[in-house]
A and B are shown apart, each in its own frame.
Chain A
């Protein structure tokens, strides 16, 4: 399997189109990363203004997704990309969907903050912030792996998602404890559970993006197979 170089086509315009497309995904990813960072800060500091900004900015993220989709369609129609070019356009098309969904998860967390007066202990709040920081790091690494088209990195990020799942489970157990003591606030608790779930989902979405990176670089679909099978498959491809 070969290394992927975007800018070596005979057509300079095609080089530019692919480069721009890739940059636009990274820009969009950067915006979502900032959104996540803001949402976590807003949660920590109970900053309603910042949470409001996150909700408003999500419109921008949605529009970015639409624009990138349109550009992918145009490139497929006009350039008939083949091989790694085709995989790049498809991977970008799918990654964009997941990144937009990450944006939606972040928005949900921001909306929770806007509701105010969370009946949670400091422990739960700190747990959410810690999980948030963890998924933020995962998102950052995922976008880096995408920028560098680094399948090996994508693989280890993919495996790392286990830790987030673990963290989420602990948080959930703790939340159930507190809910028992506080049945009056069950409706609020449900919102909180949703927000926790959102954090965990960010990790899953990053995992998806990592799978697209592996597909892009190695040409193999590694979705829906066990971690062990995936490692086997990648070993074959090395």
Chain B
């Protein structure tokens, strides 16, 4: 059929994407916490410079899945991972992987805001300093730009050297997003980035996320299905550790293939 209008981007078939368009290639990934199987045989190709959201009921494994992409779960005692996760053609679970370097390329923002107990400014430049950047000008500019990106600059420009813990919950959440962006990672993992924010700040962050995709591959976990529908290009639905459905967001929210997805997104009993 002819396209007369430029209304919505055509649906993309994930299986049809070329390897070079894939940022994270998850191959048969399973994860156990002790005896609990938290992720089951996940197979998922996450496209580069696109926004992919992960939805699903509480406890289904969303945060755990994100934690696999920067090997955060390694820190949990009793955690056992099977399968492979390829980022830039390297299996990050290879025993020779440099995990510190990985984490600087894969930034993460957590479900609960966790500013470091230091000044707002120090929070923003902390990572850059660790990377060896000392030039005052560079650090100042990076801090200001990151704060502007998350629409926090106006609120905190006069108190940059106050403790970050004096910020409100919503401000703290924007600060930790700014902290992740300041490092300019390749991949940004956002776990419920707006759950503590008011609706207007939420829209600001969503707008920011949409802009981020020009430079970064973004993964966002959200309980807010409208948010997933609004911001993401692709959506994955997890249920009890299994990937039930993963497709173009336009498709998943209008014509899901699986009954379980349908029930979840339309607010029915599962």
Contacts and interface: CB of A to CB of B under 8 A. Distances in A.
Contacts, number: 39
Query: In the complex, which range does the number of interface residues on chain A fall in?
Result: 10 to 19
A10 B269 contact: yes
Contacts of B225: 82
Contact of A9 (B229, B254, B255, B267): B267
Given A2-B262, A9-B266, A9-B268, A219 B255 contact: yes
A9 B270 CA distance: 10
A8 B268 contact: yes
B253 interface: yes
Nearest to A219: B255
Given A2-B259, A2-B262, A83 B269 contact: no
Contacts of B255: 83, 219
A83 B267 contact: no
Contacts of B114: none
B226 interface: yes
Contacts of B266: 9, 81-85
Contacts of B269: 8, 10
Interface string B226-270: 100100000000000000000000000111110101110111110
Interface string A49-86: 00000000000000000000000000000001111111
B259 A86 contact: no
Contact of B254 (A2, A5, A82): A82
A194 interface: no
B226 A80 contact: yes
B189 to A, nearest CB: 25
Interface string A195-229: 00000000000000000000000010000000000
Contacts of A80: 226
A1 B258 CA distance: 7
Contacts of B262: 2, 83-84
A121 interface: no
A86 B267 contact: no
Interface in A10-49: 10-11, 14
A82 B265 contact: yes
B263 to A, nearest CB: 8
A82 B268 contact: no
A225 to B, nearest CB: 10
Contacts of A86: 253-254
A116 B59 CA distance: 73
A8 B259 CA distance: 13
B261 to A, nearest CB: 8
Given A8-B268, A9-B266, A9-B268, A82 B253 contact: yes
A87 interface: yes
A70 B99 CA distance: 56
Given A83-B262, A84-B262, A11 B267 contact: yes
A13 B36 CA distance: 37
Most chain A CB within a 10 A radius of its CB, from B225, B257, B268, B269: B268
A80 B225 CA distance: 10
Given A2-B259, A219-B254, A219-B255, A83 B265 contact: yes
A9 B264 CA distance: 10
Given A2-B259, A2-B262, A83 B268 contact: no
B267 A14 contact: yes
Interface string B141-177: 0000000000000000000000000000000000000
A213 to B, nearest CB: 16
Given A8-B263, A82-B254, 17 more contacts: A2-B262, A5-B268, A9-B266, A9-B268, A10-B267, A81-B266, A82-B265, A83-B254, A83-B255, A83-B262, A83-B265, A84-B262, A84-B266, A85-B266, A86-B253, A87-B254, A219-B255
21 contacts: A1-B257, A2-B259, A2-B262, A8-B263, A8-B268, A8-B269, A11-B267, A82-B229, A82-B254, A82-B265, A82-B266, A83-B254, A83-B256, A83-B262, A83-B265, A83-B266, A84-B266, A85-B266, A86-B253, A86-B254, A87-B254
Interface of A: 1-2, 5, 8-11, 14, 80-87, 219
